[in-house]
Structure 1
Amino acid sequence: MAQTSTQHEHYYVPAQSHWPILGSLGLGATMLGIVNLIHGHWIGHYLFFIGALAIASVMFGWFRDVIRESHQGLYSKQMDRSFRWGMAWFIFSEVMFFAAFFGALFYARNLALPWLAGEGAKAATHTYLWPEFKLAWPLLQNPDPKLFVGPHDAMPTWGLPALNTLLLLTSGATITWAHWGLYKKNRTQLIVGLFLTIALGLTFLSCQAYEYYEAYHVYKLTMASGIYGSTFFMLTGFHGAHVTIGSIMLIVILLRCIKGHFTPEHHFAFEAVAWYWHFVDVVWLFLFVFVYWF
């Protein structure tokens, strides 16, 4: 974080804040809205909108408060270490978050499907649960096709997914280039690098939105398409949400860079967002390989 020349050696403890509870309520409303949207309930649209608005308000207000505290010189070197550890553990928690979903995909593909096919000692499972089942991935035919209509085909690998991979890999390079511009006090390189990173992130989201349109209308792939549809939308959807959050954070950092908030010595806010963006890039690489390619 940017700091003034006035430093406080003590550990700064902020006053009680309403942001955490408001953020929790916003997340809860958003998830309830998504669940109701999936089930076709009319209230889902309103809950999702209210939750998303609450989350946006929390992000704006909390960022504003932290920036104000930083400019007041309330953060010491000890606070800087706390911020770094906090961000590191936050990213670790996000790694575990996606690890759970990749674990669900691994379980479905490498354990549950072979059991249904009767491999190993699971012949009875195949005989009694689904005798017509043939081992294949993606699973396009479900036990009750009338209730769970399978997709027409699997999502292609080398179309939009490959383009999105190129976009995110390039964005990882542009934000690193911007970081070097900050170190070298090259303001043009810093701002142009951040602008390009944001543009690439928003382009990624646009491509993913179009891919979802194709999934629904061309391939007939939905959340009700069985394990393939649910794992596909679960992993790509949560990743898209993280790209959205990362893009908002990058926009905030760009505005702060334009205002001259950072120096080569004090710019952890920039570093934290860069860490998060690189994490998003790495998750997409795993997602591209295991969801689209294999």
Structure 2
Amino acid sequence: SGMYLIGSGVLLMHSSDNLVLFASLITLLLMFSWWSDVFSEASLEGGHSKKTVNLLKLGMILFIVSEIFLFISPFWAFFHSSSSPNVEIGSIWPPQKVVPFPVEEIPLLNTIILLSSGGTLTAAHHFLLKGEKKHSSSLMKLTILLGMLFTLLQGYEYLEAKFSMSDSSFGSAFFLATGFHGAHVIVGSIFLSACLFQIDKSKISFSQFICFEASAWYWHFVDVVWLFLFISIYWWGS
């Protein structure tokens, strides 16, 4: 489904948006099917064994490693283009007539928001381990709201952009990197929402809540990627 989603994203650039919608629906279906299976095993079928928990953790670690390599591509493209800008873009970086975003405005605000969400999620994890479900649930909701606010501000930034994806290698690398990251924030918000639903329903024991740990790892990974994006593309690249 991931390859299909990426392929449909390429076709989207050629005015073919139906496949993107279909690929997104398939991806969401697979996500919810996996979560439903994990939640069912943890709550209705006696809980996960130690071996199962270790395998789930290993699977999540390998998934995050694969995501790291996915993000290496747009970063590599950006650094390659910016380190030796060619004559077609005036041999300067950013290219002529491409106005980058002011670092101290939305990019800095989004950095504060996303790092704050990482802090609230860590606090929610600690409360969950102590069995304080109410405090954990409140902090989880705050984390999800911060993620949604980040997504809205990112969308507003795209609307206000003075360049597009077709404006030289700068525009292509910028929208590819930030777009990938924005998609991961949306997936992470959905992941956290699924865990929040289970916490509020008290369907999973706190000692075996592997899905929550996986969502926390994923969210912190998204935080780290954004820091690299902010430093390299918004600050250094502009």
Specify the TM-score bucket, using the shorter chain as the normaliser.
over 0.9
Corresponding residue of 2:56: 83
Output aligned runs, 1:1-294, within 5 Å.
Answer: 23=1, 27-28=3-4, 30-40=5-15, 44-71=16-43, 72-73=45-46, 75-110=48-83, 112-113=84-85, 116=86, 130=87, 134-140=90-96, 150-151=97-98, 153-215=99-161, 219=162, 221-294=163-236
SS of the residue 1:106 aligns to: helix
| Structure ranking higher in helix proportion | 2
Do the aligned partners of residues 190 and 74 (structure 1) sit closer, same or farther apart at CA in structure 2, a change above 3 Å counting?
Answer: closer
Q: What is the CA–CA distance in structure 2 between the aligned matches of 1:95 and 1:35, rounded to whole Å?
A: 20
1:198: how far off?
A: 0.2
1:136: how far off?
A: 2.4
1:168: how far off?
A: 0.3
CA root-mean-square deviation? 1.7
| Aligned length in residues | 235
Gaps of 5+ in 1: 1-22, 117-129, 141-149
The one-letter amino acid paired with 1:263 is S
1:260: how far off?
A: 1.2
Higher relative contact order (CA closer than 8 Å, sequence separation 6+) = 2
Q: What is the CA–CA distance in structure 2 between the aligned matches of 1:99 and 1:107, rounded to whole Å?
A: 12
Residues 73-113 of structure 1: CA deviation (Å, up to 9, x unaligned): 36311111111111111111111211222122111112x32
8 Å Cα contact 2:181/2:226 also seen in 1: yes
1:133: how far off?
A: 6.4
Identity %: 40
Q: What is the CA–CA distance in structure 1 between the aligned matches of 2:126 and 2:38, rounded to whole Å?
A: 24
Q: What is the CA–CA distance in structure 2 between the aligned matches of 1:245 and 1:154, rounded to whole Å?
A: 27
The one-letter amino acid paired with 1:90 is F
Q: What is the CA–CA distance in structure 2 between the aligned matches of 1:97 and 1:272, rounded to whole Å?
A: 19
Residues 99-148 of structure 1: CA deviation (Å, up to 9, x unaligned): 222122111112x32xx4xxxxxxxxxxxxx4x865422123xxxxxxxx
TM superposition score normalised by structure 1:
0.75
SS of the residue 1:80 aligns to: helix
Do the aligned partners of residues 249 and 163 (structure 1) sit closer, same or farther apart at CA in structure 2, a change above 3 Å counting?
Answer: same
Do the aligned partners of residues 133 and 251 (structure 1) sit closer, same or farther apart at CA in structure 2, a change above 3 Å counting?
Answer: closer
The one-letter amino acid paired with 2:95 is L
8 Å Cα contact 1:182/1:263 also seen in 2: no
Which has more radius of gyration? 1
Do the aligned partners of residues 60 and 109 (structure 1) sit closer, same or farther apart at CA in structure 2, a change above 3 Å counting?
Answer: same
8 Å Cα contact 1:171/1:196 also seen in 2: yes
The one-letter amino acid paired with 2:18 is Y
8 Å Cα contact 2:127/2:135 also seen in 1: yes
Q: What is the CA–CA distance in structure 1 between the aligned matches of 2:89 and 2:186, rounded to whole Å?
A: 39
Gaps of 5+ in 2: none
